Amino acid sequence: MDVNGIAALVTGGASGLGRATAEALVGLGAKVVVADLPGSPGAEVAAGIGAAFAPADVTDTDSMSAALDVAASLGPLRAVVHCAGRGQRVRLVEKDGSPGSLETYKSIVELNLVGTFNVLRLAAARMAATEPVDGERGAIVLTASIAGFEGQIGQIPYASSKAGVLGITLPAARDLASKLIRVCTIAPGVFDTPILDNIRDDVKASLEASVPNPRRLGQPAEFADLVLAVLGNAYLNGETIRLDGALRMAPR
């Protein structure tokens, strides 16, 4: 797929991996919609990079449909990159002996997994109504995490929700094959995003040292580069790609 001139939507596009992806797509001539929560800096980010902004909650059908309407106003929707998500530490048995929070677990799964399904189904229906170009209608790139393979202690909500995204990838690609829509997932390792802004320098250094090669945190632009490669390679489908510098997470 040539992204020049296409309409594309990036969820979680106000910061981190999503913002870098939106910037990269705009840089190659795509007409990009940044979709993020109403209280996010999405409007400012979008204006700064030459994109449109659509306030949206990925778990909400109405606001996501409205965001897709904005994208459709720019042209046929060909690319969706789903980056929205979050994690929160939960132990099965907390330090005070109480059981881990079921409410927190449900909220993380709702956002990371149910939100992924919601974006996927709504975006696929829009793409399926477009005319094929060079044998395909579009591509959807989901975001999982290496925690979906090797979740650490305290990561049960995050790890299980991201493992669910891994499980979505192949059946979604098979489901949408008849519609000429590809689905792939990227599973990032430890990346230098705003989520790490508040950690101590020694903890950040420890994270960097845990990556075999290159021994540093991943850069959001490197995630965006892989998104572009997935969109550009029409034979890449139904695959989860680890982007982690050969890191395999330890138990803690």
Q: Is the pLDDT of residue 65 over 80?
A: yes
Q: Is the pLDDT of residue 199 over 80?
A: no
Question: What domain range is 119 assigned to?
Answer: 7-191+220-243
Q: Is residue 251 part of a domain?
A: no
Q: What is the pLDDT of residue 124?
A: 98
Q: Is residue 52 part of a domain?
A: yes
Q: Is residue 110 part of a domain?
A: yes
Query: Is-catalytic flag, 158?
Result: yes
Rounded Cα distance between 217 and 203, Å, is 12
Q: Is residue 187 part of a domain?
A: yes
Q: Is residue 118 part of a domain?
A: yes
pLDDT digits (tens, 9 = 90+) for 155-188: 999 999 999 999 999 999 999 999 999 999 999 9
Q: What is the pLDDT of residue 237?
A: 98
Q: Is residue 203 part of a domain?
A: no
Marked catalytic residue, from 158, 161, 162, 243:
158
Assign residue 24 the CATH number of its domain: 3.40.50.720
Q: Is residue 69 part of a domain?
A: yes
Total domains present in the chain: 1
Q: Is the pLDDT of residue 38 over 80?
A: yes
Q: Is residue 46 part of a domain?
A: yes
State the burial class of residue 110 (Cβ atoms within 10 Å of its Cβ: 0-12, 13-18, 19+). Answer: middle
Give first-to-last CA distance, the chain, whole Å: 40
Q: Is the pLDDT of residue 26 over 80?
A: yes
Which of 62-76, 134-148, 199-213 has the lowest average pLDDT? 199-213
